């Protein structure tokens, strides 16, 4: 009869919500690593601030002009082909290299109601966040969608931008968040 391994013993009374919240010293605390907010700029304004953004290999566009899965729309694919923008698609999401993203932005294809995710490593099968992050649906100054922080850690996304009536941003890099807040103004409060 086989004996159970000592490492398979289960401790009772310990709740661990996810791997990245685990503490080796057994101090259980809830941490919030995500820095988020809302700015009064557009996605092209952030992309034009070259000194702000760290190096990235992948830009994923999940929503373009309010259209989810823009890679599945024939009119969008024709426009990209006409502009000479080379891209890949995965489940309808446009995957671009940094140079192609610059061309995409410079020809004016970001018109509002867009969502952009930047990742440090290229991934042909990049899965975007399953919820919407545009500023007409949620205000990142108040809250972020449930699961966004864990998704960013798991996917390797370092910056998520959602534009509509202002620009929502979320990042795991607190220095990048501070640079964004310093460079670009926050929107004026509504009455």
pLDDT tens, 92-121? 999 999 999 999 999 999 988 899 999 999
Least confident of 28-37, 56-65, 95-104, 141-150: 28-37
Q: Is residue 124 part of a domain?
A: yes
49-98 pLDDT, tens digit each: 888 899 999 999 999 998 999 999 999 999 999 999 999 999 999 999 99
Is residue 119 classed as helix, strand or coil in its secondary structure? Answer: strand
Q: Domain count of the chain? A: 1
Helices 74-83, 98-106: axis angle to 10 degrees equals 100
The answer on pLDDT for 9 being more than 50 is no
Contact between 144 and 170 under an 8 Å Cβ cutoff? The reply is: yes
What residue numbers bound the domain in which 175 lies? 42-183
Q: Is residue 135 part of a domain?
A: yes
DSSP per residue over 159-181, as a string? EEEEEESEEEEEES-HHHHHHHH
- Look up tokens 């996605």; give the residue: 43
Angle 85-107-135 (CA atoms, 0-180°, nearest 5)?
100
Q: Is residue 174 part of a domain?
A: yes
Residue with the bigger pLDDT between 130 and 19: it is 130
Question: Taking residues 10-17, what's their average pLDDT?
Answer: 44
pLDDT at position 136: 85
Running DSSP on this structure, what letter comes out for residue 126? P
């Amino acid at each position: 009869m086989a004996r159970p391994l000592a490492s398979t013993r289960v401790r009772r009374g310990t709740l661990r919500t996810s791997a990245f919240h685990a503490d080796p010293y057994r101090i259980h605390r809830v941490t919030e690593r995500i820095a988020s907010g809302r700015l009064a700029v557009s996605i092209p304004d952030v992309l034009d601030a070259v000194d702000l953004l760290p190096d990235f290999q992948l830009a994923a566009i999940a929503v373009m002009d309010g259209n989810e899965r823009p890679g599945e729309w024939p009119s969008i694919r024709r426009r990209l082909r006409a502009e000479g923008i080379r891209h890949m698609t995965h489940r309808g999401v446009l995957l671009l290299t940094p140079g192609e993203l610059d061309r995409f932005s410079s020809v004016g294809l970001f018109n509002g109601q867009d969502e952009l995710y930047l990742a440090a490593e290229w991934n042909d099968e990049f899965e975007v966040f399953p919820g919407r992050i545009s500023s007409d649906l949620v205000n990142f100054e108040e809250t972020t969608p449930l699961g966004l922080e864990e998704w960013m850690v798991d996917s390797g996304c370092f910056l998520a931008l959602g534009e509509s009536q202002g620009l929502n941003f979320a990042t795991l890099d607190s220095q990048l968040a501070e640079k964004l807040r310093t460079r670009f103004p926050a929107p004026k409060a509504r009455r």
